[in-house]
Structure 1
């Protein structure tokens, strides 16, 4: 009665948008592209491209073909082709990519590996460490968990309290 039809997705097309004002928690696996303008908490496995917009915040391990970061990412990124950190972008985590571009003003804190095999190994080690299984071989730094900043008061004099965020 109903015919099953397999649809092919174009990895060059963005078919999923997490819009500004939206918060998503969970794992995303996509055959096409993904754009994050809101908040994302959870891993991303994408055959296409992932873009984190200027207002986007992703607390995620990201595996994709190309990754563009104009917002903030806390987690490891494995780009099978190219990773671009825009002037407004921040990456706090390890990366692996064949090609890396960081615009003036962009922030990267972590270790980088520029190797085709490392991109796949990083993603595999992230998945294994998330599942609690033994991690696949790769750099120990790439397997380290990303910590959230710790707040420490700088001064308690007067009415104002300044807070320093440390990693």
Structure 2
């Protein structure tokens, strides 16, 4: 009845959407892109791209390839590629990126650090060595609320 398809995950495609009117609490890890149009509380680790839409907000530390911010993030952002803060975007936290673009009207409050992709990857490896194992992190659960 169900076929087991082993398809390669494309980091250029968005496969996870937190829709408008949705509140999500918990840590998200994804190999493909993520788009937030609702509200998220919890960290995001993404091999692909993360987009926070105009009505989206995240109280979160975000780690992704590219980050497009048209809504609000309260927390730190690490982009191994480019971080774009749109005219409606607001980042309240520190950032590390290889490339940074802030449109007129965009807000950034924090400190910035520009690094090459290799330096960011080395930081990732150091952070991974010092992080809590997934088994120890099992106590944190995800709660999906829709109002």
TM-score category of the 2 structures, normalised to the smaller one: 0.7 to 0.9
Cα deviation for residue 3 of structure 1 reads 8.6
Cα deviation for residue 8 of structure 1 reads 1.0
CA distance in 2, matches of 1:126, 1:41: 21
Q: Per-residue displacement from partner, 1:69-123 (whole Å, max 9, x unpaired)?
A: 0000001100000000000000011101110000000000111111025534279
User: Whose RCO is larger (CA < 8 A, sep 6+)?
Assistant: 2
CA distance in 1, matches of 2:27, 2:7: 22
Find the counterpart in structure 2 of residue 52 from structure 1: 52
Q: Secondary structure at the match of 1:99?
A: strand
Which structure is larger by alpha-carbon Rg, 1 or 2? 1
Q: Secondary structure at the match of 1:119?
A: helix
CA distance in 2, matches of 1:65, 1:108: 19
Find the counterpart in structure 1 of residue 33 from structure 2: 33
TM-score w.r.t. the length of structure 2 is 0.79
Q: Structure 1 pair 12/118, CA: closer, same or farther in 2 (3 Å)?
A: same
Q: Secondary structure at the match of 1:84?
A: strand
- Structure 2 unpaired stretches of 5+: 133-147
Find the counterpart in structure 2 of residue 19 from structure 1: 19
Matched, 1:119 2:120: yes
TM-score w.r.t. the length of structure 1 is 0.70
How many residues are paired up?
129
Checking the alignment, whether the CA contact within 8 Å between 1:44 and 1:61 is kept in structure 2 is: yes
CA distance in 2, matches of 1:62, 1:98: 15
- Structure 1 unpaired stretches of 5+: 132-167
Cα deviation for residue 22 of structure 1 reads 0.1
CA distance in 1, matches of 2:96, 2:17: 24
Find the counterpart in structure 2 of residue 160 from structure 1: none
Q: Per-residue displacement from partner, 1:125-157 (whole Å, max 9, x unpaired)?
A: 59957x5xxxxxxxxxxxxxxxxxxxxxxxxxx
CA distance in 2, matches of 1:126, 1:71: 28
